[in-house]
Structure 1
Amino acid sequence: MSEAILLGNEAIAYGILGAGASVVTSYPGTPASEILATVMKLAKDEHLDVHVEWSINEKTAFEIAFANSIAGRRSAVSMKQVGLNVASDAVISASYMGIKGGLVLVVADDPGPHSSQTEQDTRMFAMFAKVPVLDPSSPEEAMDMVQQAFDLSEKYKTPVILRPTTRVCHARQGVRLPEIECSHTPPSFEKDPFRWAATPGPRLRLHKELNEKLDKIELDDIAMPRLILEGRGDLAVISSGVAYAYVRDIHAMGLARDISIYKIDMPYPVNKKYLDDILKRHKKVLVLEETEPVIEMQFSSREKVSGRLDKTVPGAGELTPDNVRQILGSFTGMEEF
């Protein structure tokens, strides 16, 4: 297995093809544009039998990928966070209907923002649409999470969102390149008008099925917050995405040694029982996430929880190593941060 230093978006492209996607679509927009451009180059260089398309808009891109998915084949679609607004009707409908072949929706968020009209948080949309969402903290993890997203999608017959942010999309990291092989799964569409062309009556049944799926996903291993480092004190930090990378860097500098560090790979849905268990084990818990309080809102009690809702973490703007240090200093009451 060879290695290369890749842009985060390039790593995601390798992950998509390594997972066997046979249709990959997109509408261009920073910070997501390099994903499809890389897929297109790889498909040409490796002579892959993959349909790769710059679509006329994000809704069309999603619908093409969804059509391939309900024919039983893996598909991926990428866009920036505001492009998800254009595709939202189709995405929410697909959430109700479900899928057959794995369907991964890569939505690149832009906290800041640096190249967008808003810094909206796709994880909030995932809650609204009732779609699982993964939050990578590095290019390598983003590549690995593509495979996890496809597996999760097929296990529960649901679209899955992968949500890298600008600092992941445009970072570079050495990664091990996956083997890329074309999928030879033939398309097979089974006619089921009560699912694929459902009217309002059957949609109620589909909504109930969707809620049952989410209950099962919440109990999956990927929904469990992971204890990465156990501190000597009674304080804890829960983080996801690039915020987790900053917390680890600060810990590596010799700071935050007394704080237990938890990582969440899937901000929605999170195993809520485990969140409650974390509260029982610690005196105070700080949640670091971008840009809305998605994890924070899933605690059954927020009496011991600090984050965006109580203004411990700023309510707008991206997190940086500097302001994460300041937030940790305020949370712990330690000036050396």
Structure 2
Amino acid sequence: MPSTIPLGEALVLPAPAKLNRMLHIIRRRPDGYHELQTLFQFLDVGDTLTLRAREDGEIRLLPHLPGVEPEDNLIVRAARLLQAESDCRLGADIHLDKRLPLGGGLGGGSSDAATTLLGLDTIWGIGLSLERLAELGLTLGADVPVFVHGRSAWAEGIGERLTPVALDTPWFVVIHPGVTVSTSAVFKAPQLTRHTPPITMARALQGGAASWSNDCEPTVRTLYPEVAHALDWLASRAAAMLTGTGACVFGRLGSEAQAEQLLVEVPEGWQAFKACGLNRSPLHVALGRCPSPPKATRHP
């Protein structure tokens, strides 16, 4: 399939953030991974990638992220993976405008990888299916497939078994208290809840946001007092929760005006932004390639 993007012309794409509206840990598997049940939802805020095809096969990423070697970056790994899968001899210049904090639980690295896969599939004219791109993405990280498929989803397994859902789309205030949370440290912590009884998707959706919780939150509170402080501050003003393994916390607001007012009150030293929840990824809107999904289960 020939590319519709001329060689060297820029394709600018979003790499949206996600929230875990709920997160339960069901069990620890013999291989060390944890079985989860979670609800993924996208935000209208995220990173931005600018991609240009190259004739020489090189993958160049700028700027370099502090502490991350270019070849270890998920963007570069995703590009190399797609080259190997498709036997494509083209390369790419990729510029990353990084807005999402590292280690924040917003899925920034996974979203960047998914945008790279879909973006390069477009400018290289490969034409892989979303299903195949998601399979490739899973080898990079458990959260990559949800960004590839581009729909809010109920997820099970390690987060890769996805069922599209339609969630409420409120405004949120997201706060990063200035610390980087280690996902590995959280999942290795002896006090982490690992045996929450599994529930059905229907029951989770029927219970609604008021019943949702994150099993990682007590452990992150203990290991990272700064996150506990942010959660306590936000919970006094809105329904607050940790996303993923942190460090970002989010509060659910009834309107954009309420979110803007809350932002004014956020203490200095914390990074904070407002965002609207979305059920369709801005990446898919930008590419115009979102397929017709299975019938969504609507939140009552």
The reply to whether TM is greater than 0.5 is no
Question: Which of structures 1 and 2 has the larger relative contact order (alpha carbons within 8 angstroms, sep 6+)?
Answer: 2
Measured against the shorter chain, the TM-score band is: under 0.3
Q: Which structure shows the higher helix fraction?
A: 1
TM-score normalised by the chain length of structure 1: 0.24
TM-score normalised by the chain length of structure 2: 0.26
Q: Which structure shows the higher strand fraction?
A: 2
